[in-house]
Structure 1
Amino acid sequence: MIGAEERAAMRGLLRSVNDHLGAPMAPAWESAYWAVPRHAFLPSTVWVGDDLAECSRETAPETWLRHAYADTSVVTQINDGGQETDPDDRWASCSASAPSIVFRMLNMLDVRPGQKVLEIGTGTGWNAGLLAHRLGADRVTTVEVDPVLSADASRRLKGLGLEPQVIGGDGAFGDEAGGPYDRVLATCSVRSVPPAWIAQTRPGGVILLPWESPWFCYGLLRLTVDGHGVASGFFSPHSAFMLMRGQRTDLKIYRDVVRDDHEPVESFTRLAPRSVAGDDWAAQFAIGLQLRRVWRAWHENPDVEGVATRLWLATTDAASWAAVDWDGKSPERFTVWQYGPQSLWDTAEAAYDWWRNAGSPGPERFGLTVTPDGTHTPWLDTPDRFVPQLG
């Protein structure tokens, strides 16, 4: 299974992961790393780079192996497995996560011998294989919504003598028959924590999941479940994952939001839209926690006279929208257009101001509490310091 080329590539990746984590991998996880090689869980065709260029093991084996053992994510399915005829229409629907984030999450999960783990999102099966090697296959259950991915992962796991329970179905419902679990690990991001995950976790158990708001996909959330069905814990500033399929928002500005008969209100702002929706991930994370129903999109060089860049905002129900225009010249004056019952740019400015006034905290200072009735309450530093919910 592991030839000389693969072994050399695995040694190089191990060094990269250890550097990224800042410490050598725990011996139990290193043992799993060598016994469950990543390349054995990748399909023969993967897609790489921003343009999702196709890379085939049959036609470019050295390049394929290099991607298999780079510390980056690798797209393993496009377009939900459907046929695509135009490379410009490709979009990623499943990927093998960067190995460093895989092992970071396994460390954060803090599994112990004898514990039962439920994984949401089998994907390639590599993560389930690592867990099965560490805990025993009978202690691991993994759920995958895509039947093709589920079957392929099951086959790969069996090929290595690992047979955790692989369930085909919607991961939002977890696995009631197999619960309660000591640990629940999601490998897809969510915008709200499914109640089933909390209900199927033992008191004192841990749920680890990637977080996403419509505004910004970023961060991990580690929740501990108490004896009353309440889950609470802190975020950490790591990674971004594909959204759970059942929570996707399929909206486009000109198809679903803006209409010819809309008459927006014009105003001006001195707050640069790049400050609100640019490269400052801490700002975007905090704004996303406050604007739980608002998404954004950049439009570079729109076909509008006098506009070099436009930032679009819209509610997920498409009832309100805003556009903020920069003319490419003035750094302190931006034209704002707002339509609908909520003035979205005003709301975004308020969210940004709150974050600045709070000392510009990073994601690691924020937390979330989820109660049995499904209420999600984000907070800063302590659960009694609530984050305002503005939209």
Structure 2
Amino acid sequence: MKADREGGCANDELAWPRASAGHLAPEWVDSFAAVPRALFLSDLIWAHDMPTGRSVPVSRDVDPVGWQRAAEANVPIVTQWDDGQHAGTSPGTVPTSSASMPSVVAGMLRDLDVREGMRVLEVGTGTGWNAGLLAHRLGGDQVVSVEIDAAVTERARTALTRAGLDPEVVHGDGARGWPKGAPYDRVIITAGVRTVPLDWLQQVRPGGAILTPWGTHYSDQDALLRLTVREDGSAAGPFLRMVEFMKLRNQRLDWNRFREHVPQFPGDADVSRTRLTLAELGDRYDTLRFVMGLRVPDCAHVVNQPDTGTAKAWFFDLLSRSWAAVVFRDGEPEPTVYQSGPRRLWDEVESAHRWWTACGSPDLTRFGLTVGRDGQRAWLDDPGNSWPV
């Protein structure tokens, strides 16, 4: 279930492992050498081309040299489209399983901070490569990996057996963890989540850690979050860096739910102006857009830019039919704002931007999350400075 973005390139100059500097910890060198990613890839893969953003099909039967080059490159590789409903060599609509960039895998295993004797739960087996690395380092009896897709599960089991590795691979809903194997010292999630399930917290020893990509429905962004489980069963920890993963299947955002929000545009929406520019809403991969999601909860955001001269930013409330839209046109000093419904979403966005600026435009690593029975709370610098998300 993995996909992510953290730099890299499809050409040989940045091929793995030459791109591993700063990612691969010394204690993982032997495992990465003994358990190459190529062992876990099918004959047909779709390698991500960084310059164009396209997924390029590569067949081992047709182009064995190109296939091997892609397998060893520091790029993510899609291994399934559309929850397995896609057929053929061309890319499908939505990537739903993949092999992550080696640098991302190495960085996450470094941050997981496992030691011999620890027991680890992985949510999202995918190809099985990450589980194989963990099993090589810790022993198969110390690793449990859960995968929701039956076909993906079987392929991973086959690949692990072929590689001589034997972690426990379970076909099930990873959002529920795997209580039969608990308690765990570490839990690592290889899919983006929007809500940290309490089941994960309950299956980790106090002092243990959960490492997961986390974000809000405001955008597709994820930030790597490292939570430490407390004696009272809650957990808290900082965001480490931006990543981007396929979302946990039962937490995906269904955009069709907003079809009834705007039956006719602009309808009876209130009209105003703003001085904020499109650039000030944040780029796809920067901290600002992520923080906007923390400060404007239960809101989905998307930008439509049909041509170079006009863009429309949409904001939809997840709990009501409130919506907002801002139309940005080249040469127009104050974009036009439309807001409808009891929740003034654009007012909240402007307020969030003012707050971030007043705080000195803090970097991602100054933020964190606390999770407990009372929900999720984001914070700046200290868990005491928190608010619900």
Report whether the alignment pairs 1:28 with 2:27. Answer: yes
Q: In structure 1, what is the Cα distance between the partners aligned to 2:346 and 2:136?
A: 50
Report the residue type matching 1:301 in the other structure: P
Contact 1:309 1:328 survives alignment (8 Å): no
TM-score normalised by length of structure 2:
0.90
Structure 1 residues 84 and 296, CA gap change in structure 2 (3 angstroms): farther
Higher relative contact order (CA 8 A, sep 6+): 2
Q: In structure 1, what is the Cα distance between the partners aligned to 2:104 and 2:174?
A: 21
Contact 2:127 2:156 survives alignment (8 Å): yes
What are the residue-to-residue correspondences of 1:129-168 with 2, within 5 Å?
Answer: 129-168=132-171
2:381 aligned partner: 381
Report whether the alignment pairs 1:65 with 2:68. Answer: yes
Report the residue type matching 1:233 in the other structure: G
Q: Percent identity?
A: 40
2:9 aligned partner: none
Q: In structure 1, what is the Cα distance between the partners aligned to 2:37 and 2:295?
A: 38
TM-score normalised by length of structure 1:
0.89
1:37 aligned partner: 36
Report the residue type matching 1:288 in the other structure: G
Runs of 4+ displaced beyond 6 Å: none
1:324 aligned partner: 326
Contact 1:308 1:328 survives alignment (8 Å): yes
SS at match of 1:275: helix
Contact 1:121 1:142 survives alignment (8 Å): yes
1:100 aligned partner: 103
CA deviations on 1:188-239 (whole Å, 9 max, x unpaired) are 1111111010000001101000012112312110011111101011011131
Contact 2:81 2:92 survives alignment (8 Å): no
Contact 1:282 1:360 survives alignment (8 Å): no
Report the residue type matching 2:299 in the other structure: V
Aligned-CA RMSD value: 2.2
The alpha carbon displacement at 1:341 in A equals 1.7
The alpha carbon displacement at 1:386 in A equals 1.9
CA deviations on 1:24-56 (whole Å, 9 max, x unpaired) are x33431111111110111121122343433221
Report the residue type matching 1:33 in the other structure: F
Structure 1 residues 85 and 314, CA gap change in structure 2 (3 angstroms): farther
Count of matched residue positions in the alignment of Structure 1 and Structure 2: 371
CA deviations on 1:107-135 (whole Å, 9 max, x unpaired) are 11110110100000000100000000000
The alpha carbon displacement at 1:277 in A equals 3.9
Structure 1 residues 225 and 55, CA gap change in structure 2 (3 angstroms): same
Q: In structure 2, what is the Cα distance between the partners aligned to 1:325 and 1:253?
A: 22
5+ residue gaps, structure 2 = 1-11
The alpha carbon displacement at 1:279 in A equals 5.0
Report whether the alignment pairs 1:272 with 2:277. Answer: yes
Structure 1 residues 234 and 79, CA gap change in structure 2 (3 angstroms): same
| Structure holding more helix per residue | 1
Contact 1:276 1:283 survives alignment (8 Å): yes
Report the residue type matching 1:282 in the other structure: T
Q: In structure 1, what is the Cα distance between the partners aligned to 2:374 and 2:61?
A: 48
SS at match of 1:14: coil
Contact 1:212 1:243 survives alignment (8 Å): no
Choose from 216, 241, 246 the match for 1:237: 241
The alpha carbon displacement at 1:299 in A equals 1.0
Report the residue type matching 2:139 in the other structure: G
CA deviations on 1:287-341 (whole Å, 9 max, x unpaired) are 1112231111111127xxx9711111112346121111112222x3100111122
Contact 1:257 1:319 survives alignment (8 Å): yes
